[in-house]
Each structure stands twice: as structure tokens, then as C-alpha cells.
Amino acid sequence: MSATVAPLSAVRWLYACRRSDIVANTGAAALVGGRQVALFRLLDPHTGEEHIHALDNIDPFSGAAVLARGLLGDASGEPYVASPMYKQRFALRDGRCLDDTGVAVQVHLVRVVDDWILVGRVVAAADVLAARAGDLMATACETGRT
């Protein structure tokens, strides 16, 4: 996975679906935290090693939510999904379009826990601190201390 987490940030993990709900070497769409995400479950035919990838499901060329239904392939060792609309290929590791270097789709952090696929959403430190400050203020108001 190539996604980089910015310093001073936190990751909020959201349940997407069960790993076993996605047939090997296919994709599925999930609504994760209000965002359409395309999940892909790939099995290496030589080693049997499994890789789960998550990208935004919206094809930037057509605007349609279709990437989860795209064709999976490999270009010189780079796994990709080809959009079913206009066939542009997007690298599963980093989201870049292999056919138009100026275009990419968002890649999401992924982990599997007890067969559940969790998708990570990076939360900026300022948002984390603001949420904590809000929690502290709410606690102070509830206890009568301000």
C-alpha cells in the first residue's frame, strides 16, 4: 500500500465489508463514511498471497461510480483496474492513471481484522484537536466547570 499518512494526523478506521464477501480477483463497491469506495481482493497466482486495495469508486473521466466493476489486470507488475466506461487504467497501489499522467483517484488505507475489511480515513491533527477540545468543553459544561 502506497498511501502516506501526513505527520500529526490520526487514522479513523471504518468497517467496509467482510473480506469473504468479495470473490478473489474481483472488486466490490462499499459506502464507507459517506464515500463510495471500490475494494479489490487480489490473489497472487504464484504465491497465493492476498492483497486488498481500496480506491475511490468514481471514474474521474466519466463521473460514474463504476471502478469497482472494472477489469483487473497487470502492467509490468503494476496491478490496475480498467474503468468499464472508457477503459482508462488506474494503478491499485497509488491511484495514478496509467493512461493519463495528470489524473489519479484517491487511494485509501486498508487493513483486515477478523475477516472485516476496514478502510482508513486520515484525520488532520487540527480536526483531532478540535474534536478533543469540543469533548473537553462538553465535559466541563456537564460538570459545571468552565
pLDDT one-digit tens code per residue, 86-144: 999 999 999 999 999 999 999 999 999 999 999 998 776 555 556 555 554 443 434 44
In a domain, 117, yes or no: yes
The confidence score (pLDDT) of residue 46 equals 85
In a domain, 15, yes or no: yes
The contacts of residue 90 (CB under 8 Å, 6+ apart) are 55, 67, 70, 80, 81, 82, 83, 96, 97, 98, 104, 105
The confidence score (pLDDT) of residue 19 equals 97
Domains of the chain: total: 1
Nearest partner of 110 among 21, 39, 34, judged by Cα: 39
The confidence score (pLDDT) of residue 73 equals 96
Helix, strand, coil percentages, rounded to 5, for the chain: 15, 45, 40
In a domain, 127, yes or no: no
The confidence score (pLDDT) of residue 49 equals 95
Do the Cβ atoms of 22 and 72 come closer than 8 Å?
A: no
Do the Cβ atoms of 108 and 120 come closer than 8 Å?
A: yes
Indicate which CATH number applies to the domain containing 22: 2.102.10.10
In a domain, 34, yes or no: yes
Q: Is 41 helix (H, G, I), strand (E, B) or coil?
A: strand
Separation CA 15–CA 126 (nearest Å): 24
Separation CA 89–CA 70 (nearest Å): 9
In a domain, 129, yes or no: no
Cell of 3: 498511501
In a domain, 132, yes or no: no
Whole-prediction pTM: 0.79
In a domain, 137, yes or no: no
Do the Cβ atoms of 16 and 115 come closer than 8 Å?
A: no
Domain that holds residue 26: 9-121
In a domain, 38, yes or no: yes
For the chain, the average pLDDT equals: 86
pLDDT one-digit tens code per residue, 10-67: 899 999 999 999 999 999 999 999 999 999 999 988 899 999 999 999 999 999 999 9
